[in-house]
Amino acid sequence: MLKGLLLLVVMQAMGALLQALWLPMLPAPVIGLLLLLALLVLLGRIPESLEQASAALLGYLPLMLAIPATGIVLGGDVLLAQLPAIGAGLVVSLLLCIPLCGVLMQRLMAGQREDD
């Protein structure tokens, strides 16, 4: 489990380094997660230590979400001022994602039928 936590911290640190050097427009945790995803794709599996560390951290997820929720509650006036832009973004993403999910599901189901 310690190896898994170390891997998560190293990916977070690498994300922060890349963000500071080349990608200031992306948050460091997002870059770190993308690096972790690339590593897992290269490995082709999830290491046992990483799986254990992730399972242990999953129990603390509500605590990690409390801070953004507090910011939403306290920054309500800013949120209301940006409501048209937020609404437009949600509608556009919904209109793009639903057909994409349908097409993806049909292709994956067709691939499963061919395997059977």
How confident is the model over 79-105, as pLDDT tens digits?
A: 889 999 999 999 999 999 999 999 999
Residue 75: count other Cβ atoms within 10 Å of its Cβ. 12
* Average confidence (pLDDT) over 70-76: 77
* Mean pLDDT confidence for 68-86: 83
- Structure token digits, residue 92: 């556009």
Percentage of residues in the chain having pLDDT higher than 70: 97
pLDDT for residue 62: 84
- The token duo for 111 is 């691939």
List phi, psi (to 5°) of 44: 80, 5
Give the dihedral of Cα atoms 97, 93, 26, 18; nearest 10 deg.
10
- For CA atoms 73, 74, 78, 81, the dihedral sign is positive
Calpha distance 111→41 (Å, rounded): 20
**pLDDT confidence of residue 115:** 65
- Give 7-61 pLDDT, tens digit per residue: 999 999 999 999 999 988 889 999 999 999 999 999 999 999 999 999 999 888 8
CB-based burial, 20-49: b 16+ in 10 Å, e otherwise: eeeeeeeebeebbeebbeeeeeeeeeeeee
pLDDT, position 79: 83
User: Is the per-residue pLDDT at 116 higher than 70?
Assistant: no
